[in-house]
């Protein structure tokens, strides 16, 4: 079975009058993290049944589509706390509606809902041990294993069951868990995926009436009027409930640290939005620094004296910020460069990766971008993109820029060559499909295949330097996709597809 990649967006809120609507807005802001499906679960006291219940609404598609009927907020998703989830878009995964999160179960401690971002790298072993015991599964997602681990824990208190369960996991898991009385936020000890804590001050200034929220990225906070408080720390589990709000501090637990902190550097390169703060720093700032460093590692080509400066264009939108840093630094380095908008992106196509098969992926690139001939014709053009994975996007775009009349086409990448798959949640293809591996890392051969006059990447050292100069936190990063150095052991012999079933 094809793997379902858990590259997602999560949002949770506690003590908010219109909780479901705020989650809806939070998920909408996090739409870039997952377009395949969306869902919200809230917690509410059911008068007729005399107990807490958790209504759920979820389905395939974008947030705006799944929640297009506004009555769902007034009639179904009631209550002042809840969690929501956006799932990343991959072909095939949408077929199984059982995989749409949040997952919801009823067990001896009441109701429990879970939203997960990340990939559990020991999922196969855990699943096999459950299968041996005859456990029945409803989905094919590794996230469901967390629920079984919680339900089957022999600890007495619910919070201990949860810490017991997550202590058995390896890999990437940022979680929002909703119980009958709390919202629990948790990041794996490596801190692979981001998760931040926010607060919506009450209108009357009474802290007991403040709402608290957690989200994958802070752009979700901006839309719901929340202020960023801090990150959920790697390995930290925070219990958000009324007691904690009244006390002015939340219970916080620390999971054992085995492998050190290794936050995903690709979140800064590509995945997160520039207007978000993740891992304690604005993505815009980090990306700009990467662009500046790229100017040192691979500046624009020199042109004969008297010729117009090379035109530098970004591949929108993910490389816009890095390109700004690149151009300003090139100028500082005495390499004249002119920033232009030479590629226009159609925003209604979706992410290129979702189309199955190489040919249709190429068609999608074509339908997603168009060139501005007047900007490119007869000019030396330098294209900047945030990353090259398979090379499909770059190759197609280079062809289009040439067709628009560029005299020379040079390509610059604001990250190093991707050489190894991700086992912690990033949607990368297999080892063999990566452009750099197809050419044994030979940049000239890659340039030839792409059809460019020159190709230049950000160096691994340059990337680390850029991130550190923008974010001086002591936490380290995972750069396994560039360095092949995996911070949590992975079974390289197991294909990613086998990790799911």
**Helical residues (DSSP H) of 62-200, grouped into ranges:** 63-66, 71-75, 123-132, 143-151, 158-167
Binding residue for ligand AMP, selected from 318, 323, 371, 471, defined by CB under 6 A: 318
Q: Which residues have CB under 8 Å from 268's CB, separation 6+?
A: 278, 279, 283, 286, 287, 290, 467
The distance between the two most distant Cα atoms of the chain, rounded to a whole number of Å, is 82
Binding residue for ligand AMP, selected from 81, 90, 101, 392, defined by CB under 6 A: 392
CB closer to ligand AMP, 297 vs 427: 427
CB closer to ligand AMP, 272 vs 352: 352
Is 264 one of the catalytic residues?
A: no
Contact between 13 and ligand AMP per CB under 6 A: no
CB closer to ligand AMP, 426 vs 490: 426
Contact between 389 and ligand AMP per CB under 6 A: yes
- Minimum Å gap between C-beta 413 and ligand AMP is 9
Site for ligand AMP in 410-429 (CB under 6 A): 426-428
Query: Of 181, 103, 109, 177, nearest to 142 (Cα)?
Result: 103
Contact between 470 and ligand AMP per CB under 6 A: no
How far apart (Å, rounded) are the C-alpha atoms in residues 170 and 487?
A: 11
Q: List the beta bridge partners of residue 293.
A: none
Residue that the structure tokens 């990448």 belong to: 413
CB closer to ligand AMP, 120 vs 394: 394
Site for ligand AMP in 81-120 (CB under 6 A): none
Element (H, E) at 402: helix 392-403
Binding residue for ligand AMP, selected from 387, 420, 471, 499, defined by CB under 6 A: 387
- Minimum Å gap between C-beta 273 and ligand AMP is 13
Q: How many residues bind ligand AMP (CB under 6 A)?
A: 19
Site for ligand AMP in 342-361 (CB under 6 A): 351-353
CB closer to ligand AMP, 79 vs 416: 416
Binding residue for ligand AMP, selected from 3, 218, 263, 393, defined by CB under 6 A: 393
Site for ligand AMP in 202-241 (CB under 6 A): none
User: Are 403 and 384 a contacting pair, CB within 8 Å?
Assistant: no
Coil vs helix vs strand at 477: strand
Binding residue for ligand AMP, selected from 11, 270, 326, 457, defined by CB under 6 A: 270
Neighbours of 453 (CB within 10 A): 16
- Minimum Å gap between C-beta 422 and ligand AMP is 8
Binding residue for ligand AMP, selected from 29, 146, 224, 315, defined by CB under 6 A: 315
Binding residue for ligand AMP, selected from 22, 148, 288, 390, defined by CB under 6 A: 390
Stretch that binds ligand AMP, among 95-103, 131-139, 175-183, 383-391 (CB under 6 A): 383-391
Contact between 197 and ligand AMP per CB under 6 A: no
CB closer to ligand AMP, 398 vs 467: 398
Contact between 267 and ligand AMP per CB under 6 A: no
Site string for ligand AMP, 169-188 (x = CB under 6 A): --------------------
- Minimum Å gap between C-beta 61 and ligand AMP is 18
How far apart (Å, rounded) are the C-alpha atoms in residues 451 and 379?
A: 16
Buried/exposed code over 120-156 (b: 16+ C-beta within 10 A; e: otherwise): bbbbbebbeebeeeeeeeebbbbbbbbbbbbbebeee
User: Are 292 and 327 a contacting pair, CB within 8 Å?
Assistant: no
Instruction: Give, to the nearest 10 degrees, the angle between helix 460-470 and helix 283-297.
Output: 140
Coil vs helix vs strand at 460: helix
Catalytic residue chosen out of the listed positions 8, 219, 422, 481: 8
- Minimum Å gap between C-beta 214 and ligand AMP is 23
Contact between 36 and ligand AMP per CB under 6 A: no
Residue 199 exposure: Cα atoms within 13 Å on the Cβ side: 18
C-beta contacts of 28-31 below 8 A and 24+ residues apart: 28/63, 28/64, 28/223, 29/217, 29/219, 29/220, 29/222, 29/223, 30/86, 30/215, 30/216, 30/217, 30/219, 30/220, 31/62, 31/63, 31/86
3-state secondary structure 361-381: HHHHHHHHEEECHHHHCCCEE
Residues with a known catalytic role: 8
User: Where along the sequence are the contacts to ligand AMP (CB under 6 A)?
Assistant: 270, 315, 318, 351-353, 385-394, 426-428
């Amino acid at each position: 079975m094809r793997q379902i990649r858990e590259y997602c967006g999560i949002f949770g809120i506690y003590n908010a009058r219109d909780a479901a609507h705020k989650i809806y807005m939070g998920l909408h802001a996090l739409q870039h993290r997952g377009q395949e499906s969306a869902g919200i679960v809230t917690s509410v006291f059911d008068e007729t049944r005399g107990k807490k219940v958790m209504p759920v609404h979820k389905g395939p598609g974008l947030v705006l589509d799944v929640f297009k009927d506004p009555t769902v907020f007034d009639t179904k998703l009631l209550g002042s706390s809840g969690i929501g989830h956006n799932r990343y878009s991959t072909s095939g995964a949408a077929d199984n509606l059982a995989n749409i999160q949040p997952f919801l179960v009823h067990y001896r401690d009441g109701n429990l809902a879970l939203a997960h971002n990340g990939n559990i790298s020991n999922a196969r072993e855990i699943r096999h041990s459950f299968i041996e015991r005859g456990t029945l599964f409803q989905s094919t997602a590794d996230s469901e294993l967390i629920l079984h681990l919680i339900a089957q824990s022999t600890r007495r208190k619910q919070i201990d069951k949860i810490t017991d369960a997550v202590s058995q996991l390896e890999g990437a898991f940022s979680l929002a868990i909703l119980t009958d009385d709390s919202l629990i936020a948790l990041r794996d000890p490596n801190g692979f995926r981001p998760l931040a804590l926010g607060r919506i001050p009450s209108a009357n200034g009474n802290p007991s009436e403040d709402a608290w929220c957690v989200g994958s990225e802070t752009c979700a906070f901006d839309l719901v009027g929340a202020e960023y408080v801090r990150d959920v720390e790697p390995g930290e589990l925070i219990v958000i409930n009324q007691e904690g709000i009244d006390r002015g501090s939340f219970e916080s637990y620390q999971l054992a640290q085995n492998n050190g902190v290794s936050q995903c550097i690709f979140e800064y390169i590509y995945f997160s939005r520039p207007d978000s703060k993740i891992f304690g720093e604005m993505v815009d700032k980090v990306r700009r620094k990467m662009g500046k460093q790229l100017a040192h590692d691979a500046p624009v080509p020199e042109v004969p004296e008297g010729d117009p400066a090379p035109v530098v264009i970004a591949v929108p939108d993910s490389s816009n910020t890095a390109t700004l840093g690149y151009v300003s630094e090139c100028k500082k380095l005495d390499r004249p460069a002119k920033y232009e908008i030479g590629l226009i992106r159609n925003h209604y196509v979706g992410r290129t990766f979702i189309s199955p098969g190489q040919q249709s992926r190429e068609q999608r690139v074509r339908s997603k971008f168009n060139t501005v001939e007047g900007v490119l014709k007869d000019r030396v053009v330098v294209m900047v993109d945030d990353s090259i994975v398979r090379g499909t996007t770059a190759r197609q775009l280079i062809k289009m820029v040439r067709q628009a009349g560029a005299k020379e086409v040079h390509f610059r990448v604001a990250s190093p060559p991707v050489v190894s798959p991700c086992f912690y949640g990033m949607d990368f293809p297999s080892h063999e499909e990566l452009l750099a591996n197809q050419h044994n890392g030979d940049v000239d051969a890659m340039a030839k295949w792409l059809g460019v006059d020159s190709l230049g990447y950000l160096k691994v050292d340059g990337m680390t330097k850029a991130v550190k100069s923008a974010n001086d936190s002591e936490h380290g990063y995972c750069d396994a996709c560039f360095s092949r150095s995996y911070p949590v052991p992975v079974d390289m012999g197991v294909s990613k597809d086998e990790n799911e079933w």
